[in-house]
């Protein structure tokens, strides 16, 4: 452990929550250098929907590398890229009647968002972008400008402009958030210029597992259509099947102008991001947006193999069944420990336990780790326990992990109750 403390930057974070050295990973499990097993309810922050080292993807990758396949290509044509584009078109886009051009903006999610920002401003000739409270879109400057977290924004070190934050669904009492937004659009005295685009997460993952209703999302899209604003969905963490269907916006019947994808797109944890756009918005000049690592061919190979999951019509149904089990189990946990005043949020296989008292979620996560379960927190005050297992987790593993989570919550609840009684006893003296 000494090498990390003495050489690596203080900016490191996840390793502080899980202070072991991990050595290998298979399926839904991680193993440290001492051989201890950990059940993974983190899934690489959503980058490992298909688990660690999935055999079919690993086989395709090893075969490609063994054949000296092209690994780096910028935006040159390669066999691997062509195969991925064909598979994406045939398995994902055409069956959903989605007519999108595909852009490779760079290797990460924030690259996909930055490309969307530049493209929307170029296509509309306008500068302002609207995002929402508790949004998270990335750590580069453009993405930070439309991110809600004050802690993350402060890291920029410079003013973050050309963006306006509006209230997300249920942020205001009575669900009046879109009335508020519409008033800003139509009132000439609002001080808000007509935006180039509105960007939204259908489920705010880092923001605290906030789930927008389909009705709210549809009205938001309609407001964009009415006022000539591009409607953009950031599906980086909750796309690629996390909520059930491939795209999280499908059940709401939305047709975004631009979609940002990354994280589990490669299916193997390899960096890969795309920005999807309607053809008429594709107004780029050649090379106007580029990047050295936008042609990650090994990731094209694993992404192509990962899309085979979506040729099985039962795959999405299985996600929904597991998601229902997760939600039911978390409701039982919250009900069993009423003193913690926890509420359940989520859709599909992304769920959260939101605790009213600060610090409880972090305590539960620490207890879970000591018991062999990896789970993280989210929300503006890290007040939500974020449950994010691989989509392919076996039913018995999911049940075991939920039992471990219940045990961690029970231990924290017991310690808290004992502490409260001690305080009362001292006060009574």
Q: Any idea what DSSP says for residue 285?
A: P
172 lies in the same domain as 234: yes
Q: For the chain, which ranges sit under pLDDT 70?
A: 417-429
103 lies in the same domain as 234: yes
271 lies in the same domain as 388: no
Exposure b/e, 314-337, CB count within 10 A at least 16 = b: ebbebbeebbeebbebbeebbeeb
**pLDDT for 421:** 53
Residue 108 structure tokens:
């990460």
Q: Which of the listed residues 311, 339, 361 is the one where a domain comes to its end?
A: 311
Q: Which of the listed residues 269, 289, 311 is the one where a domain comes to its end?
A: 311
**DSSP secondary structure of 168-234:** PTTSSGGG-HHHHHHHHHH-TTS--PPPSEEEE-SEETTTTSEE--HHHHHHHHHHHHHHTPEEEEE
**pLDDT for 425:** 47
Using the structure block, give the residue that is written with the tokens 């993405």. Answer: 143
97 lies in the same domain as 186: yes
Determine what percent of the chain falls in helix, strand and coil, rounding each to the nearest 5.
45, 15, 40
- Which of 274, 307, 263 shows the shortest CA–CA distance to 57? 307
Range of the domain at 50: 2-54+313-428
Strands 350-355 vs 384-387: parallel, antiparallel or unpaired = antiparallel
**pLDDT for 419:** 56
Number of domains in the chain: 2
Q: For the CA atoms of 26, 32, 34, 36, what is the dihedral angle to 10 degrees?
A: -60
CATH of the domain at 25: 3.90.1150.10
Q: Which of the listed residues 272, 296, 311 is the one where a domain comes to its end?
A: 311
85 lies in the same domain as 47: no
Task: Please give the angle made by the CA atoms of 227, 232 and 236, to the nearest 5 degrees.
Answer: 165
- Which of 192, 261, 199, 187 shows the shortest CA–CA distance to 233? 199
298 lies in the same domain as 333: no
Residues 194 and 401: their CA atoms lie apart, in Å, by: 47
86 lies in the same domain as 30: no
Residues 400 and 326: their CA atoms lie apart, in Å, by: 11
Residues 340 and 401: their CA atoms lie apart, in Å, by: 20
234 lies in the same domain as 370: no
Exposure b/e, 108-140, CB count within 10 A at least 16 = b: bbbbbbbbbbbbbbbbbebebbbbbbbbbbbeb
137 lies in the same domain as 182: yes
Burial of 311 (0-12, 13-18, 19+ CB in 10 A): exposed
- Which of 318, 339, 328 shows the shortest CA–CA distance to 405? 328
CATH of the domain at 284: 3.40.640.10
- Which of 255, 246, 328, 268 shows the shortest CA–CA distance to 61? 268
240 lies in the same domain as 341: no
172 lies in the same domain as 184: yes
262 lies in the same domain as 353: no
**pLDDT for 174:** 73
**pLDDT for 2:** 92
Contact 321, 346 (CB under 8 A): no
């Amino acid at each position: 452990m000494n090498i990390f403390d003495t050489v690596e930057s203080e900016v490191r974070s996840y390793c502080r929550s899980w202070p072991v050295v991990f050595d290998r990973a298979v399926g839904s499990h991680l193993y440290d250098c001492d051989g201890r097993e950990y059940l993974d309810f983190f899934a690489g922050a959503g980058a490992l929907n298909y688990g660690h080292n999935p055999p079919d993807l690993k086989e395709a990758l090893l075969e490609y590398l063994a054949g000296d396949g092209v690994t780096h290509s910028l935006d040159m044509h390669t066999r691997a890229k062509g195969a991925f584009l064909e598979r994406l078109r045939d398995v994902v886009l055409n069956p959903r009647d989605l007519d999108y051009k595909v852009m490779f903006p760079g290797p990460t999610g924030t690259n996909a968002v930055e490309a969307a920002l530049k493209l929307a401003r170029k296509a509309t000739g306008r500068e302002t972008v609207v995002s929402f409270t508790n949004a998270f879109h990335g750590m580069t400057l453009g993405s930070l400008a439309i991110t809600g977290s004050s802690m993350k924004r402060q890291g920029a070190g410079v003013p973050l402009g050309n963006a306006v934050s509006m209230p997300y669904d249920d942020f205001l009492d009575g669900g009046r958030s879109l009335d508020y937004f519409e008033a800003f659009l139509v009132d000439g005295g609002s001080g808000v210029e007509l935006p180039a685009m509105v960007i939204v997460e259908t489920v705010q993952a880092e923001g605290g597992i906030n789930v927008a209703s389909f009705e709210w999302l549809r009205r938001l899209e309609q407001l964009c259509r009415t006022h000539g604003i591009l409607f953009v969905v950031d599906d980086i963490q909750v796309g690629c099947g996390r909520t059930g269907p491939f795209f999280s916006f499908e059940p709401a019947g939305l047709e975004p102008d631009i979609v940002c994808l990354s994280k589990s797109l490669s299916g193997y944890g390899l960096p890969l991001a795309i920005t999807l756009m309607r053809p008429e918005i594709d107004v780029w000049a050649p090379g106007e947006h580029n990047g050295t690592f936008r042609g990650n061919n090994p990731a094209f190979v694993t992404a192509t193999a990962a899309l085979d999951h979506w040729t099985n019509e039962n795959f999405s149904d299985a996600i929904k069944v597991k998601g229902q089990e997760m939600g039911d189990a978390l409701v039982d946990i919250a009900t069993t420990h009423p003193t913690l005043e926890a509420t359940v949020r989520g859709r599909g296989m992304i769920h959260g336990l939101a605790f009213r008292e600060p610090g409880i979620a972090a305590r539960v996560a620490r207890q879970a780790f000591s018991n062999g379960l990896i789970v993280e927190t989210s929300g503006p005050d890290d007040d939500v326990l974020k449950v994010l297992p691989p989509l392919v987790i076996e039913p018995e593993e999911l049940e075991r992990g939920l039992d471990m989570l219940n045990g961690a919550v029970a231990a924290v609840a017991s310690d808290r109750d004992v502490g409260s009684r001690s305080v009362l006893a001292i006060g009574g003296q």
